[in-house]
Amino acid sequence: MKLNVVGKNIIRVDAKSKVTGKALYPQDIYLDNMVYGKTVRSTKPHANIKIDISEAEKVDGVLKIFTYKDVPNKNEHGVVLKDHEVFASKKVVRIGEPIAFIVGETQKVCQEAYRKIKIDYEDLPAVFDPVEAMREEAPKIHGDSNIIYHYKLRHGDIEEGKKQSKYIVENIYKSPMVEHAFLQPEAGLGYLEEDGTVVVVIATQYPHYDREEVAINLGLPEEKVKIINTNVGGAFGAREDISAQIHLALAAMVLKRPVKVIFSREESFIAHSKRHPMIMKYKTGADENGYLQYMEAEIIGDSGAHCSWAINVLRKAGVHATGPYVIPNVKVDTYAVYTNNPFTGAMRGFGATQVPIAHEQQMDALAEKLGMNPIEFRMKNIFRKGSMTATGQILTDSVPLDRCIEAVDEKLKFSQLWKEVK
Amino acid sequence: MKKRGIGVGVSFYGTGYGNGFPDISRAIVRLLPGGRVGIYCGVTEVGQGAKTAMIQIGAETLGLTEKDIDLIHEDTSLMPDSGTAAATRQTYNTGNAIKVACENMRKELFEKAKIELELNSTAGLVLENGEVVLSFFPQKRISFKRLSEIYKDEIIEAGGEFVAQTTTMDPETGQGAPYWPYTFNACAVEVEVDTNTGIVDLLRAVFAQDAGRAVNPHLLEGQMDGGFAMALGYALFEDLKLENGAMKNNKFSKYLIPTAMDMIDVEKIIIEDPENTAPYGAKGIGEPVMIPIAPAILNAIYNAIGIRITELPVTPENLMKAIREAEANKQN
Amino acid sequence: MVDISITVNDKLYKISINENMRLIDVLRDELGLIGTKEGCGEGECGACTVIMDGEIVNSCLVMGFQADGSSIVTIEGLEREGDLHPVQRAYIEAGAVQCGFCIPGMVLSTKALLDKNPNPSDEEIREGISGNLCRCTGYNKMLEATKKAMEYIKGE
């Protein structure tokens, strides 16, 4: 196929505006008659709350302090389960959960009011370890079980696989909770157009989803809500859940003035999701000729205090748990679990970044037992065109994994170095 | 003592929302005054280069250059929903929607050209540098600009949609076709481990990424470098230090991400094997580019010092702890 | 309030500012120079980098009154009569830009580096931009851009 534009190193169309400093992110937009917002967040991981805004409201320059009572329609949102409250009403389930949104003439006014907000916390038993959270007697975060999701993968016959395996390796791997650390902290503006359309200016990964949530919370039809997506200063999954969109829309609708909010870096850290930490118990077996015969894994992912994408992330982890290898007998169980930790959600790789920490080390451990070069061992077992995955899917097209491995082997001289070390 | 080791990591990654969930991208293409083409599409540019790549796919399909196309993708009241900029789905899903919309637009332009050029049919018409041309009698041609003038009140436009093909998995066995397509990669590194300090230094890195087809090789390399750096932080430094639900490392002075001095040159290899269902064969690579790096580093550490590190991150403290534990185990 | 006079991008400003305003607030909120970005507010990320009397500073760590009498270059000051600075051009051509939020600071750090050392080694380039965090690019294309800019500057 002769291509003229695809395949060419076209210069990024947004590069010039970015190197000249002209590219606008939400924090760069200043509107006439604009006021500022500040989010009040929980400082406790699990507690019943009572909020007293009476002193804060008296601060000169405060326009309004929004709480759950001010949300016109549903006080909830969430990409899969609606388990975030727009503002916590009775209890908080994590540090950083929004409780109120102060709007004042200046940022200084908001700061002053912030100090005068009184939140009475009645601590509840909390749970931070997902394994403990799975127990029946553990404190419950939402509803009557902390187990959000259990994915089961059953392929072939595990007992037969064990019988066929001359070498078996078994390990428990743990991956940490980490932060996206994009460079542009969350910021946004809300304002009203003349016809009453509520506009939210934000940097988001999915403007139409934001529109849907805002419309539901405000009780407006979707065509009365407009999301303007500016330049986005990095995302990596952390701009999929709602941040300030609903607060800004609500404040603009009620106050009929442009409202701006900018998160500090510390606020950004506690406001958005994190990568799911996972505990991954693996058993992998190969026969004497170096062919994989079975794999068994139990994977527990800490979803923190909200579901966000936990179901999809643990599903993806489960599907990718084998790695890109043909294994005839597979049993995988993955669990997504609520705790009172910071909530976890989408982050680059989405569950498929965690499991290779386990399966790739299992591969090397097996190769060592077999006395094989890890590349040679992989080449015996990898997916190729026509291979079947553990979910029974046939890879019918474009499976150039062999070429990827051969390319790095050749360039690093891996196999040659391996022989020399031996 | 400083010890060297080599390690490899490989991975696969399934594109899209998956599990049969309706994963839909949409685009509208419109002829603008002056003969430019507008693509209206809710594709988000998060830095990955989607804006440029989408314009390239549109330009290719319409026989234009990237300079002839405006992508309108900021305002929900002006553009159709194209799903989220996530799940490595924009190049594949939204790229496909834009390609379909542009193919439909091509048909619209042919129909209008047939009328204006007084032809019997659209057979033999092609798009060339902003003109509709009868390929076997090139004197018969009309520019997009001229068409936009003639049809200024009756806008020439076309829509396109792409729905990804996945199936739900069986709830008891997990059997099904949850994602499509899959993308593959491999990374090999050489490290040097200082067993007195626990510091792991990367000496060399080679990284091969399957892209189906690279829409824009420079952008793709940028993703590979960026994914590598993020994975380096994941493997060796990043730690939020959670205590009772609180992050102790909650700002950049405490939560360390790689700087230019921590990164090394990465020898990047793009592997092309066009995917039939993808726009010009191009698969997404945004997430896959971070996946095989940490495993390669971990395997190289084992190769260097003979200790398997099962918990990230491999900070100097954690590595020294692992070394001490291994020594204690040996003595017992 | 305190009166200061500062030269920004060759233009002299005499303004009255609040004592607790940082230089970044003066540039963004008072002068409308929004190309200077705030990424952390504690001098760690370098997104707010500007050149002050020839030296790069984090404008979030400099108080507005401390800038009194100084000469500042921000990202908006690099273009000359519509022509991009060689460092800007090189960043575009090398594909060193992704989300763009770190870029104004990164470009200024690169410029300051090349002003002082027209022939930096790879190691010196890495060190020169190590005060500027970027989460997207892995820095390698920035290295390439810096080398390209070196050539452009030599050719001028």
**Beta carbons of C102 and C133 less than 8 angstroms apart:** yes
Q: Closest partner residue to B222 among C40, C98, C131, by Cβ?
A: C98
Is residue C39 within 8 angstroms of chain A, CB to CB?
yes
Fold of domain A130-176+274-421: Aldehyde Oxidoreductase; domain 4 (3.30.365)
Indicate whether B157 and B29 sit together in one domain: yes
| Amino acid B298: pLDDT | 98
Query: Per CATH, is C2-77 categorized as 3.40.630.30?
Result: no
Is residue C93 within 8 angstroms of chain A, CB to CB?
yes
Is residue C135 within 8 angstroms of chain A, CB to CB?
yes
Q: Closest partner residue to A181 among C37, C104, C135, by Cβ?
A: C135
Q: Is C128 left (phi over 0), alpha (psi -120 to 50) or beta?
A: alpha
Structural domain boundaries, residue B326: 2-14+182-331
| From B45, B103, B238, B287, the catalytic residue | B287
| Amino acid A421: pLDDT | 74
Stretch B264-272: mean pLDDT:
98
Is residue C102 within 8 angstroms of chain A, CB to CB?
yes
User: Does the structure show a pLDDT above 80 at B175?
Assistant: yes
Is residue A178 within 8 angstroms of chain C, CB to CB?
no
Indicate whether B85 and B209 sit together in one domain: no
- Tens digit of each residue's pLDDT (9 = 90 or more) over B78-96: 999 999 999 999 999 999 9
Say which CATH architecture domain C86-155 belongs to.
Orthogonal Bundle (1.10)
Does the model's pTM come out above 0.95? yes
Indicate whether B218 and B279 sit together in one domain: yes
Contact: A211, B242; criterion CB under 8 Å? no
Cα–Cα distances in angstroms (integers) from residue B177 to residues A22, B83, C41, in the given order: 45, 20, 47
C120: closest CA among C141, C90, C91, C146? Answer: C146
| Amino acid B42: pLDDT | 97
- Tens digit of each residue's pLDDT (9 = 90 or more) over A146-184: 999 999 999 999 999 999 999 999 999 999 999 999 999
Stretch B107-131: mean pLDDT:
98
**Beta carbons of A150 and A333 less than 8 angstroms apart:** yes
Where do the domains of chain C lie?
2-77, 86-155
Is residue B173 assigned to a domain?
no
| Amino acid B103: pLDDT | 98
User: B111 catalytic, yes or no?
Assistant: no
Q: In sequence order, what DSSP letters do the residues of B34-89 get, joined into one string?
A: GG-EEEE-----SSSSHHHHHHHHHHHHHT--GGGEEEE-SBTTTS-----S-TT-
* Cα distance between residue A185 and residue A1, in whole Å: 43
| Amino acid B330: pLDDT | 87
Chain B: touching chains (3 or more CB pairs < 8 Å): A, C
Is residue B14 within 8 angstroms of chain A, CB to CB?
yes
Is residue B168 assigned to a domain?
no
Query: Chain A contacts of C40, Cβ < 8 Å?
Result: 265
Indicate whether B96 and B208 sit together in one domain: no
Is residue B177 assigned to a domain?
no
Indicate whether B255 and B217 sit together in one domain: yes
- Tens digit of each residue's pLDDT (9 = 90 or more) over A2-26: 999 999 999 999 999 999 999 999 9
| Amino acid A422: pLDDT | 65
Q: Which amino acid is at A170?
A: E
**Beta carbons of A372 and B8 less than 8 angstroms apart:** no
* CATH code for the domain of B141: 3.30.365.10
- Tens digit of each residue's pLDDT (9 = 90 or more) over B19-33: 999 999 999 999 999
* Chain A residue closest in CA terms to B284: A349
Stretch B266-275: mean pLDDT:
98
Is residue B204 within 8 angstroms of chain A, CB to CB?
yes
Number of domains chain B contains? 2
| Rg from Cα positions in chain A | 26
Distance from CA of C106 to the nearest CA of B (A): 11
Is residue B243 assigned to a domain?
yes
Percent of chain A at pLDDT > 70 equals 100
Contact: A234, B212; criterion CB under 8 Å? no
Residue stretches of chain A with pLDDT short of 50: none
Distance from CA of A173 to the nearest CA of B (A): 5
Contact: B227, C138; criterion CB under 8 Å? yes
| DSSP character at residue C22 | B
Query: Chain C contacts of B49, Cβ < 8 Å?
Result: 98
Structure tokens at B49: 């280069």
Percent of chain B at pLDDT > 90 equals 99
Stretch B191-209: mean pLDDT:
98
ipTM of the complex as predicted: 0.98
| Amino acid C156: pLDDT | 82
Indicate whether B197 and B309 sit together in one domain: yes
Indicate whether B77 and B118 sit together in one domain: yes
CATH node for A15-123+185-270? 3.90.1170.50
Is residue B148 assigned to a domain?
yes
Pairing relationship of beta strands A147-155 and A187-192 according to DSSP bridges: unpaired
Is residue B186 assigned to a domain?
yes
Tens-level pLDDT at each residue, chain C (156 residues): 999 999 999 999 999 999 999 999 999 999 999 999 999 999 999 999 999 999 999 999 999 999 999 999 999 999 988 899 999 999 999 999 999 999 999 999 999 999 999 999 999 999 999 999 999 999 999 999 999 999 999 998
* Chain C residue closest in CA terms to B252: C44
